[in-house]
A and B are shown apart, each in its own frame.
Chain A
Amino acid sequence: GENVEQHPSTLSVQEGDSAVIKCTYSDSASNYFPWYKQELGKGPQLIIDIRSNVGEKKDQRIAVTLNKTAKHFSLHITETQPEDSAVYFCAASSSDKLIFGTGTRLQVFP
């Protein structure tokens, strides 16, 4: 079955710097890759997603890139702000479900 690995598990950056979180997947049939942000005491919220017919997608300060050949995808956050501090999860579709990575705790220091 599908396996999704996510790195790093923790990431600390200075406000204004960029943050990059990487995920790899194993199922070559996967074609949908969402990213979720989970703030303390809340459920995960979808922040951006990409489908396999696209290599990159941007939404203001966040972007996702997908390399189908290498089976990896990445989340890029530019000009980080303290409110970006949260746990981020990647996921990949596999037959009839999503398989999630183990999460990255991002801390943005003022």
Chain B
Amino acid sequence: DVKVTQSSRYLVKRTGEKVFLECVQDMDHENMFWYRQDPGLGLRLIYFSYDVKMKEKGDIPEGYSVSREKKERFSLILESASTNQTSMYLCASSFGSSSNQPQHFGDGTRLSIL
């Protein structure tokens, strides 16, 4: 079974802090994704990556950056955390080079910015 592991289940940070969310997958998937999930808004794509050192902006990239130094690891960075970034963050991975493959999700990081 594919396993996508997010390093923290719950995280509390202060406004202005630099925040790192880590995600690791163990299935040698090429593609990795970061979403945020908010009530009534579904899952919104922040950034994704199709290969090491590659990154593409999703629908809501403002205030975020990403890093993919190794194939199995995809990090989401909040450069200067703000209260409107309080949310559930979900990482996913998939095989192949297109969007036509199932995505496998981690269990999420619930981030609170105070």
Chain A 61-83 near chain B by CB (<8 Å), digits 1 or 0? 00000000000000000000000
A98 neighbours in B (Cβ, 8 Å):
45, 99, 103
Per-position contact with A for B87-113: 1 when CB-CB < 8 Å, else 0? Answer: 000101000001111111111100000
Contacts of B28-46 to chain A: CB distance below 8 A: 33, 35, 40-45
Contacting residues, chain B, for A100 (C-beta < 8 A): 35, 42-44
| A89 part of interface (Cβ distance < 8 Å) | yes
A: interface residue count bin: 20 to 34
Chain A binding surface SS class: strand
**CB <8 Å contact, A34 and B99:** no
Interchain CB contact under 8 A, A44 and B43: yes
Assess whether A94 is interfacial by the CB under 8 Å rule: yes
Residue of B nearest to A96 (CB): B99
Cross-chain contact of A51 among B41, B100, B108 (Cβ < 8 A): B100
Choice from B40, B43, B48, B104 contacting A89 with Cβ under 8 Å: B43
Find the residue from A36, A41, A98 having the highest chain B CB count within 10 A.
A98
Closest to A41 in B: B107
Chain A, residue nearest B99 (CB): A93
Nearest-neighbour CB distance to chain A for B71, whole angstroms, equals 18
Within the assembled complex, what's the spacing in Å between the Cα atoms of A41 and B110? 10
Contact A43 B99 (CB under 8 A): no
- A92-110: CB near B (< 8 Å → 1, else 0) gives 0111111011110000000
User: Are A44 and B105 in contact, CB atoms less than 8 angstroms apart?
Assistant: yes
